[in-house]
Amino acid sequence: MPSKGPKESSAPSTGRGTERGRDGENGAYDAEAVRAKYLAERDKRLVPGRADIRDLRTDEHFTWYRDDPFTPYREREPVADEVDVVVLGGGIAGILAGAGLRKAGIERIRIVDQAGGIGGTWYWNRYPGVMCDVESYIYIPMLEELGYIPERRYAWGEEILSCLEAIAERFDLTRDALFHTGVTRAAWDEDAARWRLTTDRGDHITTKWYVLAPGILNLMKLPVIPGMEDFAGHSFHTARWDYAYTGGGAHQPLSRLSDKVVALIGTGASGIQCLPPLAESAEHVYVFQRTPSAIGVRGNRATDPELGGRLVPGWQRERMDNFQAIMLGRPVDVDEIDDGWTHHYAAVHHPPRTEGMTVAELMRSGEQLDYSIMEEHRHRVEELVTDPATAEILKPYYRYLCKRPCFHDEYLSAFNHPNVTLVDCPAGIERVTKKGPVVDGRQYEVDCIVYGTGFEPELTPLFRRVGHEIVGRGGITLAKKWGPGAASLFGMMSRGFPNMIVMPAPGQQAVVTVNYTQLAVLGGEFVGRMVGLLAERGIEIFDVSAEAETSWTRSTKRPACA
Ligand SMILES: Cc1cc2nc3c(=O)[nH]c(=O)nc-3n(C[C@H](O)[C@H](O)[C@H](O)COP(=O)(O)OP(=O)(O)OC[C@H]3O[C@@H](n4cnc5c(N)ncnc54)[C@H](O)[C@@H]3O)c2cc1C
């Protein structure tokens, strides 16, 4: 019988029933002691100003960090014309919206993106080691349409980018696109029933529909560390990897680092992925860590070459649904994905509940389960890191969901290389001098600082993520309307902003999925069907009724335990 989808084997345990977890290695699980340890670790990090960030859109020293190192900037004449739809952003969401619109027969679709090409996240993030952390078979969209099976269970960024480029080509989405172009303002013209857009290239674009797909992790985050502008060496953010400086490529040694000392600041998802290649190439790497990530088993491996032959039509959607069902705590016959997400993440979200259990009992059993999962992570550090002092610093002491969980097979063992030193700085780096970072009064002299400091969180308000003013009916801006909180229908449309659709994302009253692509697939289909249907019926202007918006907005504010 044909398989429904790729079947993977061994995965981490759920933490349920682990004796280590329930009983701890040195005796019974002591809830008070665990809480005290977690609080003590938290308190080390409660330092005023520690979470401050520089605004890279306006920062006088670091705005150049946003420049595109991958595609040369070309001068062009400004464009002044009219299209059917402008899609802001050419990442997964923008491409899927474009594909949906094309399927609905929409002719003139214009993607506008600050990037030099298609791909969004996967255009910008080309650091060595970059890969998806949700299984590639459900993360890379439209695999069935492309007739493509990813080479590995978790795909490298390059492969993801080439799939996104292939989708854009398939749906002819680059013909009218404007790259290296930022939308600076969008205003609804009631008389013309059109949106009027201006850009930083002097363009004046008129469009009937405006689709926003600006990304959820599109704003690079840079911490405020005193003196960082004084650093005399080279520095960059992982989302703009400077291969001209490091040499090499995504899978080639970083040849120009062999005589360079590198500071890697940040140990979240990007930092952990780029450490192993850095460790292989640089003379020395100092890893500056405020809080260790929980690094679960990745279990990456090559795709079974026989797999393609076993798949049946509809397998990708079914596999996405299977993953989502597990994330929602719904029963499934088989866990098709069988990885750290479906084990640990799902388990923590849905701790076992038995008939008649009180809320207090449920909370306690949830805490024990969480503790046992975190104990597994701490034990894994001990197993993989040979130096006990380094291992201790790498152990995460907090509840599983305090930080986005990470998964990696080579990160922890990279600390066994003699040229890698972990620098513990829970309160943050003291300052940066022209020579490099200073922690506990010690100067670390480095040639280069790599900021693996991630992105402004996905809950950043939409009006900040889009980076431009959006003016709706009667001159009201989206920032003003959504200032006190989002007000929408489905998190995708907002009254007073006709013919504007926002691709679903967290923090804007849309649903949230661990596999972002599934949400984008649904959003893309919705955009295509809706615009197609209204075109078919000859409807020029669409706006949300006050009742629909109020009802949806209210439903999203329902107390969680109601
Ligand atoms: C390194 C990395 C790995 C990730 N891995 C996963 C994963 O495994 N699984 C998962 O579910 N999610 C993952 N994510 C989250 C990821 O952001 C989404 O999966 C997805 O790629 C976002 O797609 P998007 O199209 O919404 O936004 P993006 O890919 O961010 O694209 C948005 C585009 O809009 C452009 N833009 C924004 N504002 C403007 C403007 N004013 N003018 C012009 N252009 C503008 C940006 O330049 C950008 O190219 C990852 C994120 C990162 C950074």
Distant-in-sequence, close-in-space partners of 115: CB < 8 Å, separation ≥ 6: 68, 71, 90, 123, 124, 179, 180
In this predicted structure, which of 73-87, 99-113, 359-373 has the lowest mean pLDDT? 359-373
pLDDT in tens, 351-392: 888 889 999 999 989 999 999 999 999 999 999 999 999 999
**Res. 23: pLDDT tops 60:** no
Model confidence band, residue 558 (pLDDT cutoffs 50, 70, 90)? low
**Res. 214: pLDDT tops 70:** yes
- The per-residue pLDDT for 507 is 80
Ligand 1 centroid to Cα of residue 123, in Å, is 9
Q: Report the 3 state secondary structure along 488-557.
A: CECCCECCCCCCEEECCCCCCCCCCCCCHHHHHHHHHHHHHHHHHHHHHCCCCCCCCCHHHHHHHHHHHC
- The per-residue pLDDT for 20 is 35
Mean pLDDT confidence for 534-539:
96
- The per-residue pLDDT for 510 is 85
pLDDT in tens, 55-68: 888 888 998 999 99
Nearest to 68, CA basis, from 180, 157, 152: 180
Mean pLDDT, the chain, whole residue set: 92
**Res. 560: pLDDT tops 50:** no
pTM, 2 dp = 0.94
- The per-residue pLDDT for 30 is 86
- The per-residue pLDDT for 8 is 36
Question: Is 532 or 251 the better-scoring residue by pLDDT?
Answer: 532
Q: Is the CB of 92 under 6 A from ligand 1?
A: yes
**Res. 434: pLDDT tops 50:** yes
- The per-residue pLDDT for 467 is 92
- The per-residue pLDDT for 275 is 98
Q: Is the CB of 271 under 6 A from ligand 1?
A: no
Beta bridge partners of 206: 82, 196
**Res. 413: pLDDT tops 60:** yes
Compute the Cα dihedral for 397, 398, 403, 404 and give only its sign.
Answer: positive
Nearest to 130, CA basis, from 243, 263, 228: 243
pLDDT in tens, 227-266: 999 999 999 999 999 999 999 998 899 999 999 999 999 9
Distances 244 to 36, 248, 452 between C-alpha atoms, Å: 47, 8, 18
Ligand 1 centroid to Cα of residue 367, in Å, is 33
- The per-residue pLDDT for 19 is 33
Q: Burial, 313: exposed, middle or buried (Cβ in 10 Å; 0-12, 13-18, 19+)?
A: exposed
- The per-residue pLDDT for 234 is 98
Mean pLDDT confidence for 152-157:
98
Q: Report the 3 state secondary structure along 181-239.
A: CCEEEEEEECCCCEEEEEECCCCEEEEEEEEECCCCCCCECEECCCCHHHCCCEEEEHH
Nearest CA to ligand 1 atom 21: 121
Ligand 1 centroid to Cα of residue 111, in Å, is 14
- The per-residue pLDDT for 559 is 52
Q: Is the CB of 91 under 6 A from ligand 1?
A: yes
Ligand 1 centroid to Cα of residue 108, in Å, is 23
Beta bridge partners of 438: 431, 443
Q: Is the CB of 220 under 6 A from ligand 1?
A: no
Are residues 115 and 178 in contact, defined by beta-carbon separation less than 8 angstroms? no
Ligand 1 centroid to Cα of residue 323, in Å, is 21
Q: Is the CB of 214 under 6 A from ligand 1?
A: yes
Are residues 386 and 413 in contact, defined by beta-carbon separation less than 8 angstroms? no
Are residues 217 and 211 in contact, defined by beta-carbon separation less than 8 angstroms? no
The H or E element spanning position 262 is strand 261-265
Q: Is the CB of 513 under 6 A from ligand 1?
A: no
**Res. 15: pLDDT tops 50:** no
Q: Is the CB of 467 under 6 A from ligand 1?
A: yes
Question: Is 461 or 543 the better-scoring residue by pLDDT?
Answer: 543
Question: Is 15 or 526 the better-scoring residue by pLDDT?
Answer: 526
User: What three-state secondary structure class fits 143?
Assistant: helix
Ligand 1 centroid to Cα of residue 178, in Å, is 17
**Res. 446: pLDDT tops 50:** yes
In this predicted structure, which of 205-209, 379-383, 510-514 has the lowest mean pLDDT? 510-514
Q: Is the CB of 506 under 6 A from ligand 1?
A: no
Ligand 1 centroid to Cα of residue 292, in Å, is 24
Ligand 1 centroid to Cα of residue 269, in Å, is 14
Ligand 1 atom nearest to CA at 503: 26
**Res. 562: pLDDT tops 50:** no
- The per-residue pLDDT for 381 is 98
**Res. 520: pLDDT tops 50:** yes
Q: Is the CB of 136 under 6 A from ligand 1?
A: no
Model confidence band, residue 7 (pLDDT cutoffs 50, 70, 90)? very low
For a pLDDT cut of 90, what percent of the chain falls above it?
A: 84
In the 8-state DSSP scheme, what is residue 343? I
pLDDT in tens, 181-197: 999 999 999 999 999 99
Model confidence band, residue 460 (pLDDT cutoffs 50, 70, 90)? confident
Q: Is the CB of 94 under 6 A from ligand 1?
A: yes
Q: Is the CB of 120 under 6 A from ligand 1?
A: yes
Model confidence band, residue 9 (pLDDT cutoffs 50, 70, 90)? very low
Ligand 1 atom nearest to CA at 124: 49
- The per-residue pLDDT for 38 is 96
- The per-residue pLDDT for 28 is 66
Q: Is the CB of 97 under 6 A from ligand 1?
A: no
For a pLDDT cut of 70, what percent of the chain falls above it?
A: 94
Model confidence band, residue 458 (pLDDT cutoffs 50, 70, 90)? confident
**Res. 448: pLDDT tops 60:** yes
- The per-residue pLDDT for 352 is 83
**Res. 98: pLDDT tops 70:** yes
Ligand 1 centroid to Cα of residue 217, in Å, is 6
Ligand 1 mutation pick, 163, 195, 218, max ligand atoms within 8 A of CB: 218
Q: Is the CB of 515 under 6 A from ligand 1?
A: yes
Question: Is 562 or 533 the better-scoring residue by pLDDT?
Answer: 533
